[in-house]
Amino acid sequence: MNYNFLQNKNILITGGTGSLGRELVREIIKHDPKVVRVFDVDETEQFEFHHELKGHENKIRFLLGDVRDRERLIHATEDIDIIFHTAALKHVMACEYNPFEAVKTNILGIQNVIDAAISNNVEKIIFTSSDKAVNPSNTMGATKLLAERLMTAANYYKGKRKCTFSSVRFGNVMGSRGSVIPLFRQQIKAGGPVTITDREMSRFMMSMSQAVDLVFKSAELAQGGEVFIFKMLTVNIMDLAEVLIEELTPQYGYKAEDIEVKIIGTIPGEKMYEELMTEDEATRSLEREDMFIIAPLIMEGLSKYDGAAYDATSVQSKDYVSKDVTPISKDEIRAILKEDRLI
């Protein structure tokens, strides 16, 4: 992909050593930025990533810091043109058992990012949200929803500053540390059992390359206040587990029939299916071949907003609830996993 808007820009990535953060850094340095600041609280991950990026020292700056620390973020965003905000607490159960910590990082943290961006007149700020923000049934989803609303609202009170704040919603990113694939791999390596919530559970899934593409496309299109959502494939979790068992057991000295699949039921806050947007959001959204675009709920104060600029129509399809979409086949799952080198 050719993203010329990254050229000669000063870019900050929060959560820059996470799964998505790393891929964003790797892709951005291909497009000749002026500098990429990798902002993260994990010093070990920063140390390891620093060694991976040998040869790019003139472009990369590693900044140790927490999004909970407003003053640190204000210093980190000096002279920055674009912020990709990926830092968050993302694990459903961790947030469920530690809701106050989720609030500190996912809500107060994003307010700190917004304040720092406004203080330094940052040009574009893209927040990576989750489909769990739609009709949230758990703490993590609720914090992501409020974070989206904070991002949209920032466009109303930025004053005369040039800042543009927008969000992207992800499904499950295949192979990321928060996805089910590393868990299934670990369980298969140990000889089983592979634990499944329910045979009928479905999820929207995307590859890491698609996730990076969504972030960059959204940054190019963003006018302020929108939520961008890629159209994603629907995967039955049981099918995914069976493909991984078939492909990985020979690597670990087992036969596929040796691995038990154990149905464990839903964990607190877990849904049987996922949604990309609500019915209400769909009434004010646009649809392109590759994505949905949710317009801001309040248009007052966004006088420059131009819906025609997206090359989109009003929403025509219903492909935004995973239980209403036919899941891809096991052969299609296998092909995607091989293409992304996950098996």
* Cα distance between residue 197 and residue 265, in whole Å: 4
- Whether residue 2 contacts residue 27, with contact meaning beta carbons closer than 8 Å, is answered with no
* Cα distance between residue 137 and residue 269, in whole Å: 5
Packed helices 237-248 and 180-189: angle between N→C axes, nearest 10 degrees: 40
Which of 62, 23, 298 minimizes the C-alpha distance to 170? Answer: 23
Rg value, the chain, Cα: 20
Residue 54 bears catalytic tag: no
Could you tell me which residues come within 8 angstroms of residue 303 by beta carbon, excluding any fewer than 6 positions away?
Answer: none
> Could you identify the residue written with the tokens 């675009």?
293
Largest Cα span, the chain:
64
> Based on the number of CB atoms within 10 Å of its own CB, is 58 exposed (0-12), middle (13-18) or buried (19 or more)?
exposed
For 58, half-sphere exposure in the C-beta direction (CA atoms, 13 angstrom radius) is 5
**Angle formed at CA 335 by CA 334 and CA 337, multiple of 5 degrees:** 65
- DSSP strand pairing (291-294 vs 261-263): unpaired
> Could you identify the residue written with the tokens 């951005």?
28
Among residues 9, 90, 124, 132, the one annotated as catalytic is 132
**Catalytic residue set:** 132
